[in-house]
Structure 1
């Protein structure tokens, strides 16, 4: 089964917000990605509204509905505040096909670690149940090397997303074997527990093929920063098509 490509359009919103106004438009970028064959669109609205905002999510929900998967990422523990309704209420209002829970703090530049399931499981359990109630598939952001994933299954998760930042760093440094082995071990543990496996963070054209060869049966990769960086030079349509060729999802 080919690995699905979900394009994270946050970076388009970062550029828009740096200037104000409506350009570049994440909706238009998402339309281009979908036309090129992307299997899904990912967004990660944060409480400080520094990139994708709740208003964007509603627009993208309308665009994706019946066409491709919408995946909303975020910290389920972050409280609502003006301009940010909270992850669970936003998911309840938009009913994305997938909701990926990520333990990022408000001030983080980007996500950089997975859940501590031993600590967080009971807090996550009712939130996962609420998402499942509105039809969301639920994925948990997990560090590579984690093996005790029966907990994730027992609290209702459907999938995990392997945090691939350390793999990407090791790949760039030419010392990839241990990091790739950690990813593969976590994928096997998840699959043995009956969970699907997604992956994301710093995956790029230079490392994606090696990752997918070393970590079999990955259902979905979420890619944003590298894809839009590469698209500056090669164009968005062409870049999406190159990723689809790497994942086999063409």
Structure 2
């Protein structure tokens, strides 16, 4: 069964736009868990544009092992201001999973995976440290990259396939090539002994297509589309809709 991990970043964006406390991140967390989500994802950035370190700490206490907590981020981004750095946050809250992403402050959102060959030497000690802290480690990779033995050699437990191009192709009505790229990466990861996650621009419209093609997906992380859909249908109902697509409930 593929686990649905709900990314709460967009709730924080809306809250931060007023500089106050609403909508409440903790209440949203409880809502998605009660609706059956198997995980909660956050992506704290050094500029604190959405999820902040204080949110990470509060959510960790609130989740309290009810579901998996997945923290995404760039482990190479230095500490600044109130942001202590990704590894330091992980050391504090001990999430079940850490997803390493090669993003920068200039990116509105994550838009590419790691060049595993180029990043191997720098990633390997960070992955080892995160695993010593008890976290499962996933590396963000591009669809079509089949060098998943390199991810295994770095020490990762899983990879997360960047599905942005797949989602765009699906919306354009010609998904076959991008879907094949996702499947190739997933199969290579499976052959290398890695678990397979997927995320970015997944929605109720395109998720079923991806899961049908990759039935062994361990987890999908969905935030932007899910929160947008929830504006019309409600957050709990939207989470339940995703669970049905994944064959859960």
TM-score (norm 1): 0.99
The corresponding residue for 1:167 is: 166
1:148-167 CA-to-partner distances (Å, cap 9, x unmatched) read 11111111100000000000
Q: Secondary structure at the match of 1:42?
A: strand
Q: Report how far residue 97 of structure 1 moved.
A: 0.1
Aligned to 2:124: 125
Partner secondary structure for residue 19 of structure 1: coil
1:155 alignment partner in structure 2: 154
Aligned to 1:10: 9
The answer to whether the aligner puts 1:246 opposite 2:212 as a matched pair is no
Name 1:222's counterpart in structure 2: 221
Q: Give the 5 Å matches for 1:180-195.
A: 180-195=179-194
8 A Cα contact 1:5 1:249, kept in partner: no
Structure 1, unmatched stretches of 5+, are: none
Q: CA–CA distance in 1 between the matches of 2:183 and 2:150? A: 19
Q: CA deviation at 1:212?
A: 0.5
The CA RMSD measured in Å over matched residues stands at 0.6
User: Partners of 1:65 and 1:181 in 2: how far apart?
Assistant: 38
Q: How many residues align?
A: 249
1:70 alignment partner, SS class: strand
Kindly indicate whether residue 44 of structure 2 is the aligned counterpart of residue 65 of structure 1. no
Give 1:24's aligned residue. 23
> C-alpha deviations, 1:39-83, integer Å up to 9, x for none?
000000000000000000001101112200000000111111111
Q: d(CA) in 2 for partners of 1:31 and 1:246?
A: 21
Q: Residues 30 and 41 of structure 1 are in contact (CA less than 8 Å); yes or no, is this contact kept in structure 2?
A: yes
State the partner residue of 1:78: 77
Structure 1 SS opposite 2:17: helix
Q: Which runs of 4+ in 1 moved over 4 A?
A: none
Q: CA deviation at 1:215?
A: 1.8
Matches within 5 A, 1:89-100: 89-100=88-99
Distance in 1 between the 2:49 and 2:112 partners?
20
Contact 1:5 1:39 in 2 (8 A): yes
Structure 1 partner of 2:115: 116
